[in-house]
Structure 1
Amino acid sequence: MTGEVPRPRPDGVDPSHWRGRATDPDADRSRAEDTAPEAVARLRARSRALLRDLLRPHRARLGFAAALLLAQNAAAMAGPYLVMLGIDRAVPPLRAGDPGPLAAVAGAFAVAAGTEYAARRGFLALSARIGQAVLLDLRQRVYGHFLRLCVGFHERYTSGRVVSRLTSDLDSIAELVDGGIDSLVTATLTVVSVAAVLLWLDLPLAAVALLAFPFLFALSRWFARASAGAWRRSRDAAALMIVHFVESLRGVRAVQAFRREQRNQQIFDGLNDEYRRANLYGFRLIATYSPGIKVIGNGTVAVVLGYGGWRVLGGGMEVGVLAAFLLYLRRFFEPMQELSQFYNTLQSATAALEKLAGVLDEPPGVPEPPRPTPLPAGPQRGAVSFRAVSFGYRPQAPILTGLELRVPAGQTVALIGPTGAGKSTIAKLLARFHDPDTGTVELDGVDLRDLADAALRRAVVLVTQENHLFNGTVAENIRFGRPAADDAAVEAAARAIGAHDFIVGLPDGYATDVHRRGGRLSAGQRQLVAFARAFLADPRVLILDEATSSLDVPTERLVQRALGTVLRDRTALIIAHRLSTVETADRVLVLDGGRIVEDGPPARLSAAGGRYAALHRHWRASLI
């Protein structure tokens, strides 16, 4: 990240931060659009649809949990009513020497307390099981969807945002599921139940209590609106902070090489302060709402106590009814205060669910065909055709225009040309990281768009300059393309490539942990492991994208020997700047501006005096 430290606007939002959200599918619009009523409504509709879909498999258990919650609420509501009966119906007989009514009321109170405990315990256990099952399903969906989205999506959607979705956003939802949702539901049900009981218990007294409702409604409505925006802004600020953190650590070598530590720290401090301000604003809202509820509640209790006491003195009301009414009234306002404590969790989780729904709604750039076409069987396999292919990463800037290319099965074709000529674009289209805008890319006569993704990945393998090795052993990395391969097959692939000798020389041989990104191995060793992986996968088509460009000459010679084994009896496309690699090809394509300007065997093109011949003379001169 470059530029000056962002200067926050008076409202606490920095425009440059929001411009960074353009990589987010649910945020690649301006802040004004993102907060427009129709945009917010769309986000909420998507999140509600996702929530319904997540809860659908648990309908039976949700019904049972609702029954337990109703039983708990009914038992809790019985307490003040039993107090009323004890005062008005059981105390007078007790004065006359009859303890029976009071014992009956006490027994009923004990039964109600036991029922409330059992129902509460059952509800918490069942709701926890449902909540964890929903979280498990959601994590699997988000992770799986990220894996299925095309490379183009991941090129514009930063890894920091991926981490934010799988950690920060899911943690917000987990916090609600683990500690908030049962309290929210219980508090809401209590408020509704108490309101109904108050109306039934004494209508005139309830009418006096209802005088507080306009103030309560206005305060709650203000809090709901203000906090929704506050916690959505908090989620965005958290995502931006995680993005910068992840990107800085991924590029830590460049950060340290250019002495950017202080500059990146300043940027992080600005993002961190924005996150602090967003959270602080939300807590300030709670600091206004929660005491406000308490003031309204205490004022209502005082008015009801005064009016009720006046009626008791006049004989228009019994003491037990007033006592029960006050107990119920306290139960009405206490959950309202609890709701304020959990509302921030609810809003944060709602904002997170909207983000996750946006990701899950992102359509795959290369969708699976509804009815896949199988690849034809036979010894001659791997024929590639580009028929009138046009493609551009942006509509206004095409890379390829009307490309026509036929590669027979088993032929090795080298692609050379200046940067931006379209070499890597051809490789990405053949690997189906993207689909062409017009035309078709075919493998053995089948349009790649008609192939099942699993079949395509088995048939076409891409080996890049920085081929990724995962945490794990050498053997696990070699069998990455064929997880079911046994140890003998893994060793055979390594021997065929020429990697066996260096592997057995490692501390634990094939069981040696390669560490993060293969950091325990040299560049040449990593490339040999990648070739062994490709050899074991046995694809019809192998694409080598600058696979030897970062190697020194001795290592390149070692890798070149491995290439002869990897390329044998399969179609291959080689993208390379080093002509030592190109000379192993059966055919060379020279590209410029997305067009094929020369096509033929290396020897013939060298003698023709064209662009390839000029490159060949320059390469020969560099070796002298």
Structure 2
Amino acid sequence: MSAPASASAEAEPDALPPDISKRARRLLFSLVRPRLGSVIVLSLVIVVSACAATIGPVFVAQALDDGLPRAADGDFGALWSAIAAFVASALVGGAASFASTRLMGITAQRIMLDLRRRLFRHIQRLDLGYHERSTSGRLVARQSSDMESVQDFLSFALIESALGILSMAAIAVILVWLNVPLALIVFAGFIPLFFVSRAAQRAQRTAYRRTRTSIAKVIVHFTETMGGIRAVQAFRRQPAGRHTLAREDEQYCDANTDALRGVAWFSGLTRLIGNVTQFAIVIVGAWLVLEDAAQVGVLAAFLLYLRRFYNPLDELVQSFNLYQSASAALEKITAVLDTEPAVAEAREPVALPATGGGERAGGGRGGRADGAGRALEFRGVRFAYGDGPDVLPSFDLAVPAGQTVALVGSTGAGKSTLVKLLTRFYDPSAGAVLLDGVDLREVANAQLRRAVVMVTQESFLFSGTIADNIRVGRPEATDAQVEAAARAVGLDDYVRRLPAGYATDVKKRGGRLSSGQRQLVSFARVFLADPDVIVLDEATAHLDIPSERLVQNALETVLRGRTAIVIAHRLSTVEIADRVLVMEHGRIVEDGKPADLIAGTGRFAQLHAAWRDTLA
């Protein structure tokens, strides 16, 4: 049996769990671990770069205090040695800087590639309930703007931060070696700097979490507007959309302003501390030189180092800014990756019974030798969406293998919920859904998706050719098999009239085809997939009368040798069914053959009579 649904399967909240920072660090370490060798080499190169960049003023001090006096006496050796050492350190520093930047870029891109793939795979694993609760725009924000924030920090700011910290550590050691009293003055400045940094970190983390939340809202609204642009234009929703987007943009602007205001305070205070420290060094250093307690060269080197010591602080302020943004973004990504699917795959799957080696009309994977599909059973099923009322309070149903069952009932009767449980988009709150006697929660997802295929009224098509969209049912299918599937559902003649035939691009969401043609492509896709069980959820809703008649004929071929559950509002679809179930309030109120129910006086007879009257 699969594990119970985790509470974390709820839609991603704006209020993140308190330990999200720790989870984000674990995620980052898991991404770095496979590239630990590259990280170690990178660290060594950065150390070399930092040391080469900080050693230069030492040679300046040697040239001033030792080289110049000797050169005045005619001995230029010490001076040239100091100059050569300075040039060599500059060359080594430049080469190490190039190597570290290049290696950091390569490592960061590989980490980001892994993170993007991991997020995309996980989002695809999440159950339908998660996607219905969460918005596609929010997930787009995780995969786009949040990823960019993490990438900016890893690719650019991280190496600058590492170089800055190492340079400051190396300079601190050199400052102590040059003059201990002056070094202590420098280190005293870190006391207020520590408290300023801690306060800024807390404030910035909150501010940048707001920016990630607010930009997600902007992307959500933009995505929904573009996805529903026809409705927006048809119902003149442009002014309302602009007003909503302006409000969301203003919130994003305010969040960024607050974050940048914090950066400005942090930058200003760190620079103030640095300037006060430099002023103190100049005063104390000059006094030490006058008292012969320090040499001029040492003071000059000290001042050079002091500038280099505080210059990284300015870079660290900018890196800190990017770090807070990336940290907030990584927390949002982590929240998605830590969400467990409510419909989890069984840890130890149970294989469905063998179906024999017979061939069906689809010419596909092979069905039962007697062409009977698979048996279905709903045993004591109860289901509710979240904390809502029961949609199916107590449901029992047995469908023999090979039977075509039509579900009829008013909106909200539970028909769509029933097929969502059958296709395991949801798991029942109680009871079990069985396929050939095996609980669906024990079946491997791959085998379940091969055995049970659903066609919805949306008839969603992917960007690409007609052949590509039919081949979704079986990616390895040959061109001949694709064309055979199209002929079976009556699509072939239309496709061959197109200039590019099966290579015709359907455009975004199949916009080049009519709704009826898109539905025919969906039927061809199912025919090619050759499943044991077919679920049709209002699959003929968008077809005109001629197309519907064409599809009805094709469906008889498609459904032959398979078990089928058909949700139908058009009662003409019921004519191909062996059995009709009339549902109300999550219960079956009528069950029988179409002809028997039509001849009676029940709910289905009334619906059928009303439908006949509309055709008169």
Q: Same fold (TM over 0.5)?
A: yes
Secondary structure class of the residue paired with 1:402: strand
Q: How far did residue 178 of structure 1 move?
A: 2.4
Does residue 27 of the first structure (1) align with residue 13 of the second (2)? Answer: yes
Kindly provide the amino acid, as one letter, of the partner of residue 487 in structure 2.
R
1:543 to 524, 535, 555: 535
In structure 2, distance between residues paired with 1:254 and 1:381 = 41
In structure 1, distance between residues paired with 2:133 and 2:606 = 37
2:203 to 201, 222, 226: 226
What are the Cα deviations for residues 33-54 of structure 1, in whole angstroms up to 9, with x where unaligned? x5xxxx3x41101111110111
Does residue 70 of the first structure (1) align with residue 47 of the second (2)? Answer: yes
In structure 2, distance between residues paired with 1:135 and 1:25 = 24
1:350 to 316, 321, 327: 327
Kindly provide the amino acid, as one letter, of the partner of residue 386 in structure 1.
F
Q: Report the more deviating stretch, 408-417 or 606-615.
A: 606-615
Q: How far did residue 28 of structure 1 move?
A: 5.3
Q: How far did residue 145 of structure 1 move?
A: 1.0
1:516 to 502, 508, 514: 508
Does residue 449 of the first structure (1) align with residue 441 of the second (2)? Answer: yes
What are the Cα deviations for residues 160-202 of structure 1, in whole angstroms up to 9, with x where unaligned? 1111111111111111122211111111222222223222321
Q: How far did residue 219 of structure 1 move?
A: 2.6
Does residue 364 of the first structure (1) align with residue 350 of the second (2)? Answer: no
Q: 1:258 maps to which residue?
A: 235
In structure 2, distance between residues paired with 1:145 and 1:509 = 36
Q: 1:125 maps to which residue?
A: 102
Pairing 1:130-169 to 2, within 5 Å after superposition: 130-169=107-146
Asked if the contact 1:542/1:571 (under 8 Å) is kept, the reply is yes
1:247 to 215, 218, 224: 224
In structure 2, distance between residues paired with 1:528 and 1:603 = 28
Q: 1:18 maps to which residue?
A: none
Q: How far did residue 496 of structure 1 move?
A: 1.4
What are the Cα deviations for residues 529-580 of structure 1, in whole angstroms up to 9, with x where unaligned? 1100000000010000001123222221122112111111101000001111
In structure 2, distance between residues paired with 1:81 and 1:132 = 37
Q: 1:298 maps to which residue?
A: 275
Tell me the matched-pair count.
Answer: 594
Asked if the contact 1:311/1:317 (under 8 Å) is kept, the reply is yes
Q: 2:307 maps to which residue?
A: 330
Q: 1:399 maps to which residue?
A: 391
Does residue 464 of the first structure (1) align with residue 431 of the second (2)? Answer: no
In structure 2, distance between residues paired with 1:45 and 1:256 = 46
In structure 2, distance between residues paired with 1:131 and 1:295 = 34
In structure 2, distance between residues paired with 1:174 and 1:507 = 44
Asked if the contact 1:231/1:344 (under 8 Å) is kept, the reply is no
Q: How far did residue 480 of structure 1 move?
A: 0.5
Secondary structure class of the residue paired with 1:433: coil
Q: Percent identity?
A: 49
Q: 2:92 maps to which residue?
A: 115
Structure 1 length normalisation: TM-score? 0.93
Secondary structure class of the residue paired with 1:413: strand
Kindly provide the amino acid, as one letter, of the partner of residue 278 in structure 1.
A
Kindly provide the amino acid, as one letter, of the partner of residue 27 in structure 1.
P
Q: 1:414 maps to which residue?
A: 406
Asked if the contact 2:9/2:339 (under 8 Å) is kept, the reply is no
Q: Which runs of 5+ in 2 are unaligned?
A: 1-7, 356-367
Asked if the contact 1:391/1:400 (under 8 Å) is kept, the reply is yes
Kindly provide the amino acid, as one letter, of the partner of residue 412 in structure 1.
T
Q: 1:206 maps to which residue?
A: 183
Q: How far did residue 24 of structure 1 move?
A: 8.0
Asked if the contact 2:14/2:213 (under 8 Å) is kept, the reply is no
2:588 to 596, 600, 618: 596
1:611 to 586, 603, 610: 603
Asked if the contact 2:61/2:297 (under 8 Å) is kept, the reply is yes
In structure 1, distance between residues paired with 2:610 and 2:388 = 35
Q: How far did residue 129 of structure 1 move?
A: 1.0
In structure 2, distance between residues paired with 1:162 and 1:235 = 12
Q: How far did residue 140 of structure 1 move?
A: 0.5
In structure 2, distance between residues paired with 1:470 and 1:614 = 40
Asked if the contact 1:388/1:401 (under 8 Å) is kept, the reply is no
In structure 2, distance between residues paired with 1:215 and 1:547 = 69
Q: 1:14 maps to which residue?
A: none
In structure 2, distance between residues paired with 1:54 and 1:25 = 25
Q: How far did residue 489 of structure 1 move?
A: 0.5
1:196 to 173, 177, 187: 173
Q: Which runs of 5+ in 1 are unaligned?
A: 1-21
Q: 1:8 maps to which residue?
A: none
Asked if the contact 2:161/2:316 (under 8 Å) is kept, the reply is yes
2:298 to 311, 321, 333: 321
Secondary structure class of the residue paired with 1:530: helix
Asked if the contact 1:25/1:358 (under 8 Å) is kept, the reply is no
Structure 2 length normalisation: TM-score? 0.94
Secondary structure class of the residue paired with 1:409: coil
Kindly provide the amino acid, as one letter, of the partner of residue 176 in structure 1.
F
Structure possessing the higher relative contact order (Cα contacts under 8 Å, 6 or more residues apart): 2
Asked if the contact 1:84/1:321 (under 8 Å) is kept, the reply is yes
Q: 2:519 maps to which residue?
A: 527
Asked if the contact 1:463/1:530 (under 8 Å) is kept, the reply is yes
2:498 to 498, 502, 506: 506
Secondary structure class of the residue paired with 1:583: helix
